[in-house]
Amino acid sequence: MTGFAPLLSIRNLSIRFGAGSRWSCPVDGVSLDIAPGEVLALVGESGSGKSITALSMTGLLPEGTSEVA
């Protein structure tokens, strides 16, 4: 950290998709800070939640089919 306040701070991000009794939770308990001048790389296997995490950070998750907590 550079001593500045984070540009983005996320604590315990959880994202669920589904309807009725069928829900999946591809992202559960993600926390991170991004300070000015820092670069973040989300690295993981296929299906590990990288794109869903990025979409939630930018507010681009589809409404009505997901829950973000």
- Give residue 37's pLDDT band: very low, low, confident or very high (50, 70, 90): very high
**Contact criterion met (CB below 8 Å) for 33 and 1:** yes
* Residue extents of the structural domains in the chain: 8-68
One-letter amino acid of 42: L
pTM of the model: 0.78
Render the burial of 35-68: b for 16+ CB within 10 Å, e for the rest.
eeeeeeeeeeeeeebbebbeebbeeebeeeebee
Express as a percent the part of the chain with pLDDT over 70: 97
Coil, helix or strand at residue 56: helix
pLDDT > 60? residue 34 = yes
